[in-house]
Amino acid sequence: MAIVDGSSRTIVLYSADAESAPSGVVVLDATRTGHSVRWHPMRMHPGPVISGLQTVQAEWGETRQHDRGALPEPVDALLGFWRSPKTWADGDIVESYETLVSGGYSMHWVDRDPATPQPKWMRLLRSKRR
């Protein structure tokens, strides 16, 4: 999450622990200085049987939004890490990228205007892929 800098993040969480919390989808929109939490409650109901398989249908409740809403500790820690200042050496970025790709992640970069200088780490990546 922190290798490539950005001004905002969107994180989606699903809650299905019926014993401790109602089911629903949580969408967290975060910036460097704040965040907003949208709660989309839902209930799952048996739907029609299609081709011999039971389907499930969602019944959505009213969406609620909370600016700077409370976050689970791991999510709060993740945002804290992303928001903290970091200095990455060009080789560190390349090594992290290669680790992600070897782990099965696919990364695609937006083509930059040829007149705009590329960061050194991007030039290193492009030279390794040739």
**E strands, 21-124, where?**
24-31, 35-50, 53-60, 64-67
Pair 107, 97: CB distance under 8 Å: yes
Span 55-65, average pLDDT: 93
Model pTM? 0.56
| Three-state secondary-structure class, residue 95 | helix
Determine the pLDDT at residue 105: 82
Determine the pLDDT at residue 13: 74
Determine the pLDDT at residue 126: 74
Rg of the chain, C-alpha, whole Å: 20
Q: What is the pLDDT of residues 70-111, one digit of tens each?
A: 888 888 988 888 888 777 777 787 888 888 888 888 777 777
Average pLDDT over the chain, rounded to an integer:
82
